Structures are given as C-alpha cells and as structure tokens.
Amino acid sequence: MIKKIFLFILILVVTISCSNIKKTLSLKKKKNVDEFLIEKKEPLTKPPNFNELPEPIENKINKTLDEDIDFSEIINTSEKKNNKADQLEIEKSILDILNKK
C-alpha cells in the first residue's frame, strides 16, 4: 500500500505544474542585463550650421512696426491734448475775473 501511495504522490509531483506566486511577485533581476557595463557617451560636437547665426527677432519686429503705423491713435492723443489745453485756458480766465472782483 505504501508503495502505491508513494507512486501516486510521485505522479502528482511530476505531472502537475502549479507555480509559486512568489516567482511572479518577486523583483527578479533580468539575466541579460550587464550591471558592470559602462556606456560611453559620444563627445559634444558643434552642429554643421552653428556659425550661421539667425537674425535677431527684435529687428524683425521693428521692421514690421515701421511698415504698419496706426495714425488714428496718434490723432486721438493729439485731440485729447488740445482739449486739456482749452480747459486750462477757461479756468485761467475765470480765476482772473474772480481776482479782479
């Protein structure tokens, strides 16, 4: 009987294929990674068009400003200045009249 039971257990152990959960959960190191490998970085080099400097952006902006000036704004500001000057003259004349009295 013991022989038979031993045979059954042997059959069980050899034929079943259950896996250990630890095998899947553990952080196992990969075999193909060489931990002592030092990767050399290539030396820094200038790009082929390094000396061809681009035109500064400010110059471009100024050019566009010269081309498109909005005169309406300038006229408006000058009108506002004239209005202020008129108001000052009226105030002065009123003050002069009051002082005379």
Partner 1 sequence: MINLQNKKTIFLSLVFFVIDRISKILVINHNNILEEKILYESRFLNLELVWNDGVAFGLLASSSMYFYNLISGLIFFIIVVLLFFIIKSKGLEQLFYVMIFSGALGNFYDRIVFRSVPDFIDLHVNNMHWFIFNFADVLITLGVLCLIFREFSQRHD
Q: What is the C-alpha separation between 90 and 23, in angstroms, rounded? A: 97
Q: Which stretch binds partner 1 (CB under 8 A): 6-14, 52-60, 71-79, 89-97?
A: 6-14
Residue whose pair of structure tokens reads 């030396």 in the numeric block: 43
Q: In the window 8-47, what residues touch partner 1 (CB under 8 A)? A: 8-9, 11-21, 23-24
Q: 16: which 2 tokens?
A: 């079943």
Residue 90 host element (H or E): helix 71-100
Which of 5, 33, 57, 97 lies at the binding interface for partner 1 (CB under 8 A)?
Answer: 5
Q: What is the C-alpha separation between 16 and 91, in angstroms, rounded? A: 110
User: Smaller CB distance to partner 1: residue 22 or 84?
Assistant: 22
User: Smaller CB distance to partner 1: residue 16 or 38?
Assistant: 16
Which residues contribute to the site for partner 1 (CB under 8 A)?
1, 4-5, 8-9, 11-21, 23-24
